[in-house]
Structure 1
Amino acid sequence: MNPIDTYQYHSLLENDAIRLLELQPSPNLNDEIECSMVCTTLRAWDEDLVEHYTALSYVWGDASLKRRILVDGKAFTITINLDTALRYMRDLKRKRLVWADAICS
């Protein structure tokens, strides 16, 4: 895989900035995981009662087992356990916002 095909982070410019994954829906558990990276701030989400995001933090499994997902159309490598978690968190019809420490930090 050449560097052009690999996802590159954008800098977070504000003190309370965070990255969230916008996980695309899929009716098929085995479909490739596709998502977009959303840069926002904690302040913007502080009192939001309509849109929610799920925080996912973990340290489990074999870190050497890897899978590829697409972030903004570019390849991003994650552990097989995070891949599994995202597959089961994915909604059938609507986008879902996720903060996953292994990707969004």
Structure 2
Amino acid sequence: LRVLTLHPSLNDSDPIACTIQHASLSDASLEYKALSYTWGNSTLTKKIEWNGGREWQLALGYLRLRHEDRLVCIDAICINQLDMAERACQVRIRDEVYRRASNILVYLGE
């Protein structure tokens, strides 16, 4: 499992900064949020530190905390979408990923 660490910012106009790390669902100390979202326009309109579309910029901006990192599992980002074997494996554990999340966050778009 990969999780995204969304780094904090006091200024909403700062670029989105995040890192991806590997984690294990069997790690009892792992605390993360899972994001459920709608697909949207993939046109890039603001520079962030990974190649995400406008909807991701908005969603990550809303999710970003001001003073601390936030760990989030977002399948479109944390799963290698070009690796069909990985995608198939991750789809099989998606229910567990959502069950283990401390919260499910919903982003319906702007």
User: TM-score normalised to the size of structure 1?
Assistant: 0.66
In the alignment, which residue of structure 2 is the partner of 1:96?
70
SS at structure 1 position matched to 2:62? helix
For 1:40, the equivalent position in structure 2 comes to: 23
Partner of residue 14, structure 2: 31
1:60 aligned to which of 29, 39, 57 = 39
Distance 1:86 1:28 in 2: 13
Q: Which amino acid aligns with 2:23?
A: T
Q: 1:19-66 deviations in whole A, cap 9, x for unaligned?
A: 11111100111100111111111111xx33xx5211113233213x12
Which structure dedicates a bigger proportion of its chain to helix?
2
Q: 5+ residue gaps in structure 1?
A: 1-17, 71-75
Q: In structure 2, how many angstroms separate the alpha carbons of the residues matched to 1:83 and 1:99?
A: 15
8 Å Cα contact 1:78-1:102 kept in structure 2? no
Report the count of equivalent residues: 78
Task: Say if 1:99 and 1:68 are closer, same or farther in 2 by CA, change over 3 A.
Answer: farther
SS at 1:41 equivalent = coil
* Match in the other structure for 1:79: 53
- Percent of pairs with identical residues: 37
Whole-angstrom CA distance in 2 between matches of 1:68 and 1:57: 23
Q: 1:68 to 1:43 in 2, by over 3 A?
A: farther
